[in-house]
Amino acid sequence: MFKTYRSAALRLTAASCVLACVSVFAQATYPAKPIRLVVPFPAGGSVDVTSRALAQKLSIQLGQQVVVDNRPGAGGNIGMDAVAKSAPDGYTLGMGALSTHAVNPALYAKMPFDAVKDFAPVSLVVITPNVLVTNPAALPATDLPGIIAFAKSNGRVNCASGSNGSAGHLGCELFKLATGAPITHVPYKGGGPAMTDLLGGQVQMMFDNMASALPQIKAGKLKAFAVTTPKRSALAPELPTMAEAGVKDFDVFTWWGVFAPAGTPTEIVKRLSDEIAKALAASDLREKWLASGAEPAASTPEEFKAFIAREIPKYARIVKESGAKVD
């Protein structure tokens, strides 16, 4: 009997060693095939553009193609749910955002994934302030009191956002809460479609991220009023904060970061984090993003995890106080 148990134990130990060796070999040779980067928003928006630029850099650095896979819908939940349910082997990643990992858990009554438990944070990628912009032909105001007066005299103003749960959505809700202006939130399936309708006059205003809005502001197609961060942005220092412009207690900014499914080996997560930091330090990519209004913000997995832990309660409070709902 003892020999039987001993034989079984030896076989189990041998099997464990084999599995461990296979795991170590897989991590040492990673990546051995193309990597899929899921973008949970439509093609053409700022998240997509940022993701494709990063994917191009990582493809060169890793020696394997990083393929962008757009899976929009439900404020980013559809795409990130696909990531959460993928094999934790480093070959499926997701470009998560403020909405998917900080706002949606408070905004949606039922989430398809746990924003903390179902993911391994890899690295923060970009931080960009939001800016209140209008189509001057559709909303002829020169300051925030003018926007409020126009909304009240016309019965309402439509405020676009790239999705439910985005910083733009929260900006619309906070503006309505703080001013009493009849603002109607209009969510789109991505920042690109929202911007198209704003430029076309179908909606009148938007709290857009600086990366998307800045080119249109510089071209004179949109009028910028204020940034939604407590301090002025170095990307557009001439713009006042919302507090300086007359509406206090605004602290909303957009961010994007790379996530892997929970259980992804720590060695692979660290390798990816290091490669992302290297990509974001490249002068061509950095200068391109800064010129468009996006600030590269590489982090370690531990730093990114701590960042998310601060963001979740912050936006849970904002959602509760503003009464924001999924439209």
Specify the pLDDT at position 301. 98
pLDDT over 70, % of the chain: 91
Name the range with the highest mean pLDDT among 36-40, 163-167, 189-193: 36-40
Top-confidence residue, 15 or 83: 83
Lowest-pLDDT choice from 23-37, 87-101, 260-274, 305-319:
23-37
Contact yes or no for 41/168 (Cβ under 8 A): no
Query: What is the 3-class SS of 27-58, one letter each residue?
Result: HHCCCCCCEEEEECCCCCCHHHHHHHHHHHHH
Regarding whether 305 and 241 lie in a shared domain, the answer is: no
Confidence of residue 311 (pLDDT cuts 50, 70, 90): very high
Regarding whether 258 and 123 lie in a shared domain, the answer is: yes
Burial of 152 (0-12, 13-18, 19+ CB in 10 A): middle
Count CB atoms within 10 A of the CB of residue 249: 12
Torsional sign, CA 125, 51, 161, 149: positive
Question: Domain range for residue 178?
Answer: 129-245
Specify the pLDDT at position 15. 46
Confidence of residue 9 (pLDDT cuts 50, 70, 90): low
Average pLDDT, integer, range 137-143? 95
Regarding whether 241 and 140 lie in a shared domain, the answer is: yes
Number of domains in the chain: 2
Angle, alpha carbons 267-269-270 (nearest 5°): 65
Regarding whether 182 and 117 lie in a shared domain, the answer is: no
Regarding whether 192 and 99 lie in a shared domain, the answer is: no
DSSP symbols for 13-31: HHHHHHHHHHHHHHHHT--
What is the radius of gyration, based on Cα positions, of the chain? 22
Regarding whether 219 and 141 lie in a shared domain, the answer is: yes
Specify the pLDDT at position 20. 44
Regarding whether 272 and 174 lie in a shared domain, the answer is: no
Tell me if 305 is assigned to some domain: yes
Average model confidence (pLDDT) for the chain? Answer: 89
pTM of structure: 0.79
Tell me if 258 is assigned to some domain: yes
Tell me if 214 is assigned to some domain: yes
| Residue 261: cis peptide before it, omega within 30 degrees of 0 | no
Specify the pLDDT at position 22. 42
Regarding whether 141 and 76 lie in a shared domain, the answer is: no
Task: Indicate whether 159 pLDDT > 50.
Answer: yes
Tell me if 28 is assigned to some domain: no
Specify the pLDDT at position 254. 87
- Give the C-alpha separation, 141 to 132, whole Å: 12
Name the range with the highest mean pLDDT among 23-32, 177-186, 287-296: 177-186
Query: What CATH number should be reported for the domain holding residue 200?
Result: 3.40.190.10
The token duo for 9 is 């134990």
Regarding whether 145 and 61 lie in a shared domain, the answer is: no
Task: Indicate whether 188 pLDDT > 80.
Answer: yes
Q: What is the pLDDT of residues 89-109, one digit of tens each?
A: 999 999 999 999 999 999 998
Q: What is the pLDDT of residues 194-221, one digit of tens each?
A: 999 999 999 999 999 887 898 899 999 9
Confidence of residue 19 (pLDDT cuts 50, 70, 90): very low
Task: Indicate whether 295 pLDDT > 50.
Answer: yes
Confidence of residue 10 (pLDDT cuts 50, 70, 90): low
Of 214, 245, 276, which marks where a domain is finished? 245
Regarding whether 159 and 260 lie in a shared domain, the answer is: no
Lowest-pLDDT choice from 16-25, 112-121, 232-241:
16-25
Query: What CATH number should be reported for the domain holding residue 46?
Result: 3.40.190.150
Of 245, 261, 285, which marks where a domain is finished? 245
Name the range with the highest mean pLDDT among 20-29, 90-99, 188-197: 90-99
Average pLDDT, integer, range 293-321? 92
Contact yes or no for 209/167 (Cβ under 8 A): yes
Average pLDDT, integer, range 152-164? 92
